[in-house]
């Protein structure tokens, strides 16, 4: 059985495949249009790899799509290696709380 990269990679790959099939393109067609090897496109569609931004833009351009449609709704929590769920807002809020506690203690 082939290992997938992440839930996000699976969703992104499904979206690419759906758009490719909707246009009646083969893997080879899409690979040629996006200047990639067809096996690389296949790995992306199966969620085995997550494309970098350049690859995503190449695929989207070949598919006449906005690259954003492929990543819409994907979140960091969809990646297995995420250690924490903090955002910049969480970090700033905690930093401000800590500063407030220090000033109250002074």
The structure's pTM equals 0.78
In the chain, DSSP finds a helix count (H) and a strand count (E) of: 6, 0
- The Cβ-side half-sphere exposure at 6, using a 13 Å CA radius, reads 14
Per-residue confidence (pLDDT) for residue 83, from 0 to 100: 66
Between the alpha carbon of residue 13 and those of residues 93, 100, 101, 103, the distances in Å are 36, 46, 47, 50
Q: How confident is the chain (106 residues) per 10-residue block, as mean pLDDT?
A: 81 98 97 97 95 97 97 87 75 90 83
Structural domains of the chain in order of their starting residue, each with its CATH number: 7-105 (1.10.260.40)
89, containing H or E segment:
helix 88-105
Determine the Cα–Cα distance for residues 96 and 60; give it in Å rounded to an integer.
41
């Amino acid at each position: 059985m082939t290992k997938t990269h992440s839930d996000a990679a699976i969703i992104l790959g499904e979206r690419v495949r759906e758009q490719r099939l909707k246009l009646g393109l083969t893997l080879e067609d899409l690979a040629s249009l996006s200047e990639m090897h067809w096996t690389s496109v296949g790995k992306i569609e199966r969620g085995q790899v997550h494309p970098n931004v350049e690859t995503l833009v190449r695929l989207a351009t070949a598919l006449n799509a906005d690259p954003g449609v492929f990543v819409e709704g994907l979140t960091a929590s969809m990646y297995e290696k995420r250690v924490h769920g903090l955002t910049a807002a969480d970090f700033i809020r905690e930093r401000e709380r800590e500063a407030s506690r220090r000033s109250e203690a002074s």
